[in-house]
């Protein structure tokens, strides 16, 4: 359940107040991620980091409803040391090598083993990402799982499904707020703990001390 839905279901606050409160709370999640940056991988051959890019956009159905948006590309990395895999997501302007490897160099721990598809930006990945110890790929034109090496990207695909299901439950979100919703999702995964309410109150107290 999204923060706004939870607040609206458990309080008598007007809808516009709930929306503004949700924005403030998501901002606290974003600030918490800045204070405690997410780092992925670093387990050598024991666990794999899977990487992928995915489109986020609203589609019109039968030319009705909100005007369709231009697609937004999000780059994601998931750490399979966790079950389900925990990840990092960032909106990217381009899917070229410089952009994607830049994100990896900011977030990837040393001695990481990466699995990906054969998108050209990933070619010779260890040459451009020093923390990449090994890089293996699967050709999705022919296989979901490579029959010889067993390489696949199903964990990151499952991660995208989880994220997009949350967005779908909210009936979509505006382009300008997408990263904040991604931040909330990541914060819940990494730092929310068992009781999200207590955790977010602690984060709020840091950003808005009495």
Among the listed ranges 39-53, 133-147, 165-179, which one has the minimum average pLDDT value?
A: 165-179
Q: What is the CATH number of the domain that holds 66?
A: 3.30.420
Reported confidence tier of residue 69, pLDDT bands at 50, 70, 90: low
d(CA 89, CA 76) in angstroms, rounded, equals 4
Predicted pLDDT of residue 189: 93
Based on the fold, state whether residues 71 and 50 are members of the same structural domain: yes
Q: Which domain holds residue 79?
A: 38-172
Same domain (yes/no): 75, 46: yes
d(CA 7, CA 3): 6
Give yes or no: residues 25 and 42 share one domain: no
User: Do residues 156 and 51 make contact, with C-beta atoms less than 8 angstroms apart?
Assistant: yes
Query: Hey, CA dihedral for 51, 3, 180, 41, is it positive or negative?
Result: negative
Quickly count: other Cβ atoms within 10 Å of residue 27's Cβ.
16
Number of domains forming the structure of the chain: 2
pTM score of the predicted model: 0.86
Assess whether 154 and 197 both reside in one domain. Answer: no
**Could you read off the pLDDT of 74-111 as tens digits, one per residue?**
999 999 999 999 999 999 999 999 999 999 999 999 99
Asked if residue 63 and residue 162 are part of one domain, the reply reads yes
Q: Tell me, yes or no, whether 190 and 106 share the same domain.
A: no
User: Do 52 and 151 belong together in one domain?
Assistant: yes
């Amino acid at each position: 359940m999204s923060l706004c839905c939870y607040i609206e279901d458990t309080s008598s606050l007007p809808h516009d107040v709930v929306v503004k409160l949700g924005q403030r709370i998501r901002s606290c999640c974003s600030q918490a991620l800045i204070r405690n940056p997410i780092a992925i991988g670093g387990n050598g051959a024991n666990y794999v980091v899977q990487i992928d890019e995915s489109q986020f956009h609203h589609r019109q159905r039968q030319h009705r409803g909100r005007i369709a948006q231009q697609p937004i590309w999000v780059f994601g990395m998931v750490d399979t040391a966790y079950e389900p895999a925990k990840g990092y997501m960032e909106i990217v302007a381009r899917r070229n090598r410089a952009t994607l490897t830049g994100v990896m160099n900011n977030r990837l721990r040393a001695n990481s083993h990466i699995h990906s598809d054969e998108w050209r930006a990933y070619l010779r990945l260890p040459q451009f990402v020093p923390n990449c110890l090994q890089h293996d790929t699967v050709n999705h034109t022919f296989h979901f799982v490579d029959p010889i090496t067993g390489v696949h990207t199903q964990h990151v695909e499952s991660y995208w499904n989880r994220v997009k299901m949350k967005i779908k439950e909210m009936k979509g979100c505006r382009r300008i707020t997408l990263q904040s919703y991604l931040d909330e999702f990541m914060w819940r995964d990494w730092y929310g703990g068992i009781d999200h309410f207590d955790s977010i109150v602690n984060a709020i107290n840091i950003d808005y001390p009495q």
